[in-house]
Amino acid sequence: MSAPSVDWRNRFGRAWITSVRDQDGTSNCWAFAATALVEAMVRIDHFLWSSRSEGDMVHGVGKQSWDFGNLGEAITFVEENGLADPDCFPFGVAAALYTAQESNQSVTFLSPTPDRQGRTVRLAAGASVSLTDPALKKQHLDQVGPMATMITPPVDFGFLGSQVYMPTTTVLGPAHALLVVGYDDPGRYWIVKNSIGTGWGVQGFGKISYDANLLEPAGFAGLLPGTTNPDPWCRRRMRNGALIQGSNGAARNNFELFVRRGMNIEHWYRENSTAAFTWNLVGNVRSADPWRDTFHDDALDGAAAVQSSFNRNYELVYRTTFGQMRHVFFNQTSGWWEDGTLFGPGNPIGIAGFVQSNRGAPGDFEAVVVDSSGIAHHWTKHNSFPWTMAPGTWYDRGVVASNVASGGPGLVQSKLGRTGVPENGTGELHYVCAQTDGRLHHYRLDASGWTYLTSFGAGADSAPCLIEGTYGAHDEIGVGDFELCVAVGGTIEHWWRYNAGLGPWTRSAVFGAGVRRVIALIQSTFATDLEIIVENQNGTYQHWWRDGGGWHPGPNI
Amino acid sequence: MEDGELATRPATIGELRQRLRSMGEPWTVPARFSDDDPLPDLPPQLVDPGHVKGLRAVNTREEFEAILREAPPVNPFLAARWRELGAAVPGAAEGTPEGAGTPAPGQDVPEWGVG
């Protein structure tokens, strides 16, 4: 028995539907409905806001802005090729070629960026179903999620304001695709998301009476639970440090962890599709190719990890016996770890702040490395044309801060400072570090350079870990809060800042004992729980997580 | 509404509003449209009967539920909904659906609480 009413705009106390778009007079409603479906199911499967590109779908299918299409070919395209984000290929190009782009060409938006393979939401084969029985459609809406459909509404449909649509004429307009986000049996209407801007219906959503008999005979297209596989690019702000939530495992959400043991970095994973949540050792980070066995037994400290848009490769940086930071990466195609290069200032200390930023496409790698004199240096590896440096070169971009006590995973590519979607390389870098005065100092990189913003806390004797999560954001556009965990006197402090209102830093919890430092923080697909990995004073690593009941200690790893 | 009027299209927004009034105003036209605005003359087009072509067509409840059994939800709220309906949901959920995402008092601004 299906629920009497379902509305995914606000269900289980949360929002699940991405922002309303405008197809801007094109004939691409089918791509907007299918894209909205993928975005909604990523949100439902993974508690993740993901912005996908209707342009990638339209041109990937081989069509133009004036071309009609259908939901079957749209979803089949995503099953076979994934669906990229708007910065990879935006909507709005009237007549675009869609071809592989040479990596030495500038981004023209005539083709997707060279790293498309690593920044698409993928669908499992056979992810989709089509339903025509209204009872089954409601069952799907209740038990799975929204569905896309195509109808031929009367000509007055485009003028719906508030209340429930009933036709005033039988004269039909053009076929039109919509995302069905719910229904209400007592009120006898369906709830749909349109793609002609927020001026239609109520903020772009409308109610269609059962008595209009528009949706009842139409085929609905849906995606089955757990079939979306989001890319690391859309997760990148929600994690930092040694822990990644990737897409391995049956639920496509395993944890991947990189910790130092002796002089090596070990790769561990947690299988998240089984209730046992077992941690398993993969092995040392070391090349399996004897001709490339250039790095091992050289780790002086823990690693900072990124899953990059380079084919979802794992990228690590760690302090090495060679007197600098080392960058290594796991090539998902070959299955080998490979050596990036040594980089950064001499005599580094601690763990680097390390992210893939918005600059360029593929985005640059950015690192903040603290040296033994307490200077935090900003280094960049430029990853895309135009090559202001030789490809693959890390280069010094100046000083972030001084009097820094230790390096840590405190660097974030924020949504703050963006000019819109696509982000087009805009947005600020933020860095928080513990300085020698025991306070946490917050810095921002904008167009004018690195600037000090504020300081907070006291007694911090280790480096913090910082993310920009999703609390405070109600859709994929909104800026989420900063979340920060830091060890202070052996305990863990959790701090947060309300970014939408640029609020102050607030401490929300103190927990744990015997903790040396926090080496990872993520907001996970487990209902947006926060998860941290700490290094204890006795040398063990431990997992902690927070749900609505507070912080809970997990096992030692 | 007059007999036969339904088979014609309103020529203007004002005429559309008049029809809605005669129907008891089941819905409204946004105020940004003036009564003199014409309804666009769009060519009628039938729904492509193949608009879900290529997708797995499911026609019976038995078939649909068999498919769902092979694809249980990973979302803990949906898993709780399935259990409410009596369906077995294998897999893991860290934390409880009831509590998950509800920050403790004085903690984070919940994501659904900000407009």
The Cα A284–Cα A316 span in angstroms is: 13
Nearest chain A CA: its distance from B55 CA (Å): 5
CA distance to A175, A289, B17, per residue, from A167 (Å): 15, 68, 12
Neighboring chain A residues of B111 at a CB cutoff of 8 Å:
14-15, 470-474, 480, 528
Residue A138 reports pLDDT greater than 60: yes
What's the pLDDT tens digit per position in A464-519? 999 999 999 989 999 999 999 999 999 999 999 999 888 899 999 999 999 999 99
A326-333 long-range contacts, Cβ below 8 Å, gap at least 24? A326/A295, A326/A298, A327/A365, A327/A381, A327/A394, A328/A285, A328/A295, A330/A285
**What is the chain B residue with the closest CA to A44?**
B75
> By the CB < 8 Å criterion, does A180 face chain B?
no
**Angular region, A56: left φ>0, alpha ψ -120 to 50, beta rest:** alpha
CB atoms A251 and B74 under 8 Å: yes
Residue B105 reports pLDDT greater than 90: no
The Cα A316–Cα A329 span in angstroms is: 6
DSSP string for residues in A64-104? -TT----HHHHHHHHHHH-EE-TTTS-S--SS-------TT
Nearest chain B CA: its distance from A456 CA (Å): 17
The Cα A522–Cα A554 span in angstroms is: 15
The Cα A87–Cα A89 span in angstroms is: 5
The Cα A552–Cα B9 span in angstroms is: 63
**CA triplet A137, A139, A140: central angle to 5 degrees?**
65
The Cα A359–Cα A336 span in angstroms is: 27
What's the pLDDT tens digit per position in A15-38? 999 999 999 888 899 999 999 999
Do the beta carbons of residue A267 and residue A258 sit within 8 Å? yes
> By the CB < 8 Å criterion, does A219 face chain B?
yes
Terminal C-alpha separation, chain B: 40
Residue A449 reports pLDDT greater than 80: yes
Query: What ipTM describes this predicted complex?
Result: 0.91
pLDDT band at A526 (very low <50, low <70, confident <90, very high): confident
List beta partners, residue A452: A443
Helical (H) or strand (E) element with A209: strand A205-209
Across A407-417, average pLDDT = 96
Radius of gyration of chain A (CA): 24
Higher pLDDT, B74 or A405: A405
**CA triplet A482, A488, A494: central angle to 5 degrees?**
25
In one-letter notation, the amino acid at residue A170 is T
CB atoms B82 and A524 under 8 Å: no
Query: What three-state secondary structure class fits A187?
Result: coil
Those residues whose C-beta lies under 8 Å from the C-beta of residue B15, and which sit 6 or more positions away, are none
Q: Give the distance, in angstroms, between the CA of residue A265 and the centroid of all CA atoms in the same chain.
A: 25
Neighboring chain B residues of A131 at a CB cutoff of 8 Å:
58, 64
pLDDT of residue B47: 53
Neighboring chain B residues of A126 at a CB cutoff of 8 Å:
56
Nearest chain A CA: its distance from B84 CA (Å): 10
What's the pLDDT tens digit per position in A315-361? 999 999 999 999 999 999 989 999 999 999 999 999 999 999 999 88
CA distance to A41, A73, A119, A326, A374, per residue, from A352 (Å): 34, 45, 24, 10, 13
**What is the chain B residue with the closest CA to A505?**
B108
pLDDT of residue A1: 80
**What is the chain B residue with the closest CA to A249?**
B91
Residue A77 reports pLDDT greater than 50: yes
> By the CB < 8 Å criterion, does B64 face chain A?
yes
pLDDT band at A443 (very low <50, low <70, confident <90, very high): very high
B47, B77, B94 member nearest A12 (Cβ): B77
What's the pLDDT tens digit per position in A186-208? 999 999 999 999 999 999 999 99
pLDDT of residue A289: 83
What's the pLDDT tens digit per position in B3-47? 678 889 999 999 999 999 999 999 999 999 999 999 876 655 555
- The residues in B 65-94 lying below 8 A from A, measured between CB atoms, are 67-68, 71-78, 81-82, 85, 91-94
pLDDT band at A9 (very low <50, low <70, confident <90, very high): very high
The Cα A396–Cα A378 span in angstroms is: 6
CB atoms A143 and B57 under 8 Å: no
Q: What phi, psi does A170 have (nearest 5°)?
A: -95, 0
Work out the mean pLDDT of chain A and round it to a whole number. Answer: 93
pLDDT of residue B52: 73
CB atoms A129 and B67 under 8 Å: yes
A3, A277, A529 member nearest B100 (Cβ): A529
CB atoms B103 and A548 under 8 Å: yes
Query: Which tokens sit at A318?
Result: 């760690």
pLDDT band at A93 (very low <50, low <70, confident <90, very high): low
pLDDT of residue A109: 47
Tokens 């060679």 belong to A322
Q: What sign results for the dihedral spanned by CA atoms A271, A298, A307, A509?
A: positive
B39, B61, B94 member nearest A136 (Cβ): B61
Those residues whose C-beta lies under 8 Å from the C-beta of residue A334, and which sit 6 or more positions away, are none
Closest by CA position to A37, among listed A7, A17, A22, A58 = A17
* A58-67, A229-238, A253-262, A472-481: least confident range: A58-67
Neighboring chain A residues of B77 at a CB cutoff of 8 Å:
11-12, 14, 527
CA distance to A203, A320, B87, per residue, from A162 (Å): 9, 63, 37
CA distance to A241, A397, A512, per residue, from A332 (Å): 20, 30, 36
Query: Which tokens sit at A204?
Result: 């772009």
Cβ–Cβ contacts within 10 Å for residue A304, how many?
30
- Looking only at the bridges linking them, the beta strands covering A5-7 and A83-84 are unpaired
pLDDT band at B110 (very low <50, low <70, confident <90, very high): very low
- Interface-testing mutation among A215, A547, A551, A552, with chain B (most B C-beta atoms within 10 A): A547
The model carries a pTM of: 0.93
Q: What sign results for the dihedral spanned by CA atoms A226, A231, A233, A238?
A: positive
pLDDT of residue B96: 37
Do the beta carbons of residue A2 and residue A141 sit within 8 Å? yes
DSSP string for residues in A351-411? EEEEEE-SSTTTTPEEEEEEETTS-EEEEEE--SSS-SS-TT-EEEEEEEESSB----S-E
Those residues whose C-beta lies under 8 Å from the C-beta of residue A87, and which sit 6 or more positions away, are A113, A358, A361, A422, A423, A424
Those residues whose C-beta lies under 8 Å from the C-beta of residue A447, and which sit 6 or more positions away, are none
Residue B111 reports pLDDT greater than 50: no
List beta partners, residue A494: A485, A509
Query: What three-state secondary structure class fits A19?
Result: coil
Query: Exposure string (b/e) for A214-235, b if CB count within 10 Å is 16 or more?
Result: bbeebbbbbbbbbbbbbbbbbb
The Cα A64–Cα A93 span in angstroms is: 9
B61, B82, B97 member nearest A527 (Cβ): B97
What's the pLDDT tens digit per position in A424-433? 889 999 999 9
DSSP string for residues in B68-115? HHTS---SHHHHHHHHHTT----S--SS-TTTTT-PPTTSPPPGGG--
In one-letter notation, the amino acid at residue A25 is G
Is the bond preceding residue A422 a cis peptide, omega within 30 degrees?
Answer: yes
pLDDT band at A101 (very low <50, low <70, confident <90, very high): low
Q: Across the A/B interface, how many CB contacts are shorter than 8 Å? A: 283
pLDDT of residue A392: 83
Cβ–Cβ contacts within 10 Å for residue A454, how many?
14
What's the pLDDT tens digit per position in A105-136? 554 446 888 999 999 999 998 899 999 999 99
Cβ–Cβ contacts within 10 Å for residue A388, how many?
10
